[in-house]
Structure 1
């Protein structure tokens, strides 16, 4: 199912870890997660426009079992469909983080995780910027 022009629901639900552990990473029917993922996809469309390149999703929605399996924090925005770990081919995560935070894009957290960038749209929209490990 397409959420936006360039993003599908499946991209946000897919997880190698879920597959390896037999975890069903699909939100319940009528869950607010679906509306959140649509908003997140709309934000990632803006990121795609900012860079002029495709945005790849490493991790999107995480059900509680998957979040635990990957070592996610208990209050992770991924649990609500409000965060994605992304990468853009040919651009280092610190440069992705820098360009997003220098733009007028609305976000809650933008974190340089070293090999990807975490971007969340939690309704607080605090524009917090971090570098993992610092």
Structure 2
């Protein structure tokens, strides 16, 4: 089921680790609201980049977050962060384009992290845009 112009409900809960460990990654009502909010923000990013994005991780229930050794305060826990890559653009180029877009005030995010070894980009948001730190870095 589509939850936004470009993203599906399945993408918001997908997890290779969750499937392997048979963890039911089901969001609460509040977490689902956060996922819908994040999807609307991700649609803007998708439009700006002009390429399909492949979701590696989005929402993580507590059990799944623990299984992947995620931070207890991870935005993934609340459906407010997405890890993506694309077959049409390198993850490094996605990262650089999003930094450029933020500098031009076209796109805003709380956190943007490029993971070169794993080849993906983490994009995190906050419900209150005024609280977004607009921080970015490479995780080596």
Q: Which residue of 1 aligns with 2:123?
A: 119
How far apart are residue 107 of structure 1 and its match? 0.6
TM-score between both structures, scaled by the size of structure 2: 0.88
RMSD of equivalent CA atoms: 1.1
1:94 corresponds, among 92, 95, 98, to: 92
Equivalent position of 1:6 in the other structure: 6
Question: Partners of 2:114 and 2:126 in 1: how far apart?
Answer: 17
- Residues 44, 55 of structure 1: 8 Å contact kept: no
**Other-structure match for 1:47:** 45
**What's the TM-score, normalizing by structure 1?**
0.92
Alignment of 1:1-134 (within 5 A): 1-28=1-28, 31-103=29-101, 104-114=106-116, 115-123=119-127, 124-133=131-140
**Structure with higher helix content:** 2
- Displacement of 1:90 in angstroms is 3.0
**2:89 is paired with a residue of what secondary structure?**
coil
Gaps of 5+ in 2: none
Show CA shifts across 1:31-72 (max 9, x none): 211111111111111111112111111000000111111111
Paired with 2:125 and 2:14, the residues of 1 have a C-alpha distance of: 20
Q: Which 4+ runs in 1 deviate beyond 6 A? A: none
